[in-house]
Structure 1
């Protein structure tokens, strides 16, 4: 029998953006009226289906509305998405995040979000270098990013997260430092800093395949990462995950659900769920998603039931992304086995190599292992 898990977090995917960024491989498209109408109808129906079997005791600990760009929707459309989210019982003080992009928010939309109960915004700034923003296909400028930030503060949001991308081809250390300085000048509660990954099927992927775009060197990638670690940490944003930094108590509670391998329900095209040990990913095309939901068919594109062995490995790998690591006691309570005994070989090898720390609390990466974490994770794959 599987050990009982807590109520799931809730994720809602909004599959619309003004345009596709050059690096983006997420499910998104421009918000044509017919597509938005179909999406909203299916989202409401999918939520109703989930709520029909929702246990009375379940209260979601967090809500995250992402995309895509949720704030690209018109106010009435955005309000409809918020209304779907609001139907799910949530814990007192639950974190409710909405992703937003500069240029798609104004004072009226921000008031709408605030009135609905949204208490955290994640702003997709990516860079404060206008040339790099244009290069990666973003539709805003650095000035527009700062203006959107100030509008959010004026609307009363006191928990703002800022997304940054580094290792962009053509980026220099001096330029990255300038972006970090501007980011810190805004006094964010949270910063996510991700290394640019060139994915197949994206504009950058096509350019790379054609030989017209080369990624930055591994040495520069690492140097930019270490620079972010140092500057963000010195400014009071403690690193709590490989790519995430926060002021005390402002860590992303929703993302902690993912990293602790806890359950979550995903609604919308391409949304992923992890419930009762089963991972599901919804159909990504709005038309296919709409057709399935309205026909009363689960809109599932992929389904994988995690074996007990895989669930344990995933819990270790995801948990090691966190600076706090994996708790011996939490792992034992969840799986009924001692993590130290289960993975004695990998733990001994990686500890001897200076990549893991095993102490009285649990298992975690050493600071020098954070940039090469994927090498560590391979040791725990079943």
Structure 2
């Protein structure tokens, strides 16, 4: 897909949460006292201005993230989802994902979500150990997870995913194995597995600076990742992206837009978008966002992505997909440019080091991570930064 085309993917940010988790650096604010209805007004104004500037053709994927979008009340949820349908023409087989926190999805809310077009839910579970959940600042417990999945299925949702985290303070390989086993017992079609990253401006970062965050040793975290891969593969899940596993046909289509470096709309406070090889970041504060959206597109910054930078981006995000990067995708995005002409030397080194492999078809060459490359992904991706081939 050419980046000059209208995006076929839409990201919308709902920045409210019941509380702030200890590891979270996303644009999110505790719900109490927030002007939620005014925020939804502003969001609708941003939708209107966005489609005037970049008229959509057809939206294939929608992802509503946060924050915790499911803190919206059922009437607010209905209103919000109606506005999405009003401004964006959704494809008949759209993938419409909403993030949810266990414990915030009762039957009425789930019914409003389903009626509004949502057909995929991603639950932020993180762990099946109540002690760990409390330690990382989550306010749900394991019972909430089971109840939320049960409610979602009762309303008719079948495309469900949960996030799990590893490398958490005080987590062991045994605790992780127990969480994965309990997750597998749910029989969901998709699982996302992320390692903890200690980000600035979080409680965990302050504790880390004071040497008060008991993180697992690096070798143990490495063993956790290997365990995860083995357990999920042995249960019939394809490892289709470094952090994601799915049954056939249930891969996240929306996130694949990012991994293929394709354009997407980004709306809401703190949201990022990528249209016509321009990236933008929206204002992050609730009041500044609301005030700006009543006058104009609520941008914090906009910048042109150079051709060289876009080429680097395609390789760094594209190689996260285990299917790899076809040379034809590179040519399609960059007016016929040859992947090997730009990155031939770095690819040759990665092939020699056993981190990449190539597969030739009748019409294409595909470069993908080896098993060793999956374990050393950051080393592979970093090879393309600032490379002047």
Give TM-score scaled by structure 1 length: 0.96
Quote how far apart the aligned CAs of 1:38 are. 2.2
Question: Residue 364 of structure 1 corresponds to which residue in structure 2?
Answer: 368
1:1-382 correspondence runs (5 A): 4-5=4-5, 7-55=7-55, 58-87=57-86, 88-294=88-294, 296-335=295-334, 336-360=336-360, 361-382=365-386
Q: 1:73-117: per-residue Cα shift (whole Å, max 9, x none)? A: 111112222122212002220100011111101011111111111
DSSP 3-state at the match of 1:97 = strand
Quote how far apart the aligned CAs of 1:189 are. 0.8
2:9–2:265 CA contact under 8 A, matched in 1: yes
Quote how far apart the aligned CAs of 1:299 are. 1.2
Quote how far apart the aligned CAs of 1:379 are. 1.3
DSSP 3-state at the match of 1:212 = coil
Q: For residues 243 and 100 of structure 2, what CA distance do their matches in structure 1 show? A: 19
- Structure 2 stretches lacking a partner, 5+ long: none
1:8–1:275 CA contact under 8 A, matched in 2: no
1:5–1:262 CA contact under 8 A, matched in 2: no
DSSP 3-state at the match of 2:320 = coil
2:60–2:95 CA contact under 8 A, matched in 1: yes
CA, structure 1 residues 109+370, in 2 after alignment: closer, same or farther (shift >3 Å)? same
Q: For residues 158 and 37 of structure 1, what CA distance do their matches in structure 2 show? A: 30
1:7–1:61 CA contact under 8 A, matched in 2: no
DSSP 3-state at the match of 2:328 = helix
Quote how far apart the aligned CAs of 1:169 are. 1.3
1:71–1:104 CA contact under 8 A, matched in 2: yes
CA, structure 1 residues 325+6, in 2 after alignment: closer, same or farther (shift >3 Å)? farther
Quote how far apart the aligned CAs of 1:34 are. 4.7
Q: 1:4-35: per-residue Cα shift (whole Å, max 9, x none)? A: 43533111100000000000001111223552
Q: For residues 49 and 222 of structure 1, what CA distance do their matches in structure 2 show? A: 46
Q: For residues 18 and 319 of structure 2, what CA distance do their matches in structure 1 show? A: 35
Q: For residues 302 and 53 of structure 1, what CA distance do their matches in structure 2 show? A: 17
Quote how far apart the aligned CAs of 1:321 are. 0.5
DSSP 3-state at the match of 2:168 = coil
1:6–1:262 CA contact under 8 A, matched in 2: no
DSSP 3-state at the match of 2:61 = strand
Report the aligned-residue RMSD: 1.3
Quote how far apart the aligned CAs of 1:304 are. 2.0
Q: For residues 241 and 83 of structure 2, what CA distance do their matches in structure 1 show? A: 30
DSSP 3-state at the match of 2:293 = helix
Quote how far apart the aligned CAs of 1:213 are. 1.1
2:164–2:191 CA contact under 8 A, matched in 1: yes
Q: For residues 347 and 259 of structure 1, what CA distance do their matches in structure 2 show? A: 19
Quote how far apart the aligned CAs of 1:3 are. 6.4
Quote how far apart the aligned CAs of 1:334 are. 1.9
Q: For residues 306 and 30 of structure 1, what CA distance do their matches in structure 2 show? A: 34
1:63–1:85 CA contact under 8 A, matched in 2: no
Quote how far apart the aligned CAs of 1:51 are. 2.1
1:270–1:284 CA contact under 8 A, matched in 2: yes
Q: 1:133-189: per-residue Cα shift (whole Å, max 9, x none)? A: 000010111111011111111111110011000110111111111100100000111
2:19–2:31 CA contact under 8 A, matched in 1: no
2:292–2:298 CA contact under 8 A, matched in 1: yes
2:6–2:54 CA contact under 8 A, matched in 1: no
CA, structure 1 residues 3+108, in 2 after alignment: closer, same or farther (shift >3 Å)? closer
Q: For residues 5 and 188 of structure 1, what CA distance do their matches in structure 2 show? A: 34
Q: For residues 118 and 76 of structure 1, what CA distance do their matches in structure 2 show? A: 15
CA, structure 1 residues 214+302, in 2 after alignment: closer, same or farther (shift >3 Å)? farther
DSSP 3-state at the match of 1:46 = helix
DSSP 3-state at the match of 2:60 = strand
CA, structure 1 residues 130+3, in 2 after alignment: closer, same or farther (shift >3 Å)? closer
Residues matched between the structures, number: 379
2:6–2:275 CA contact under 8 A, matched in 1: no
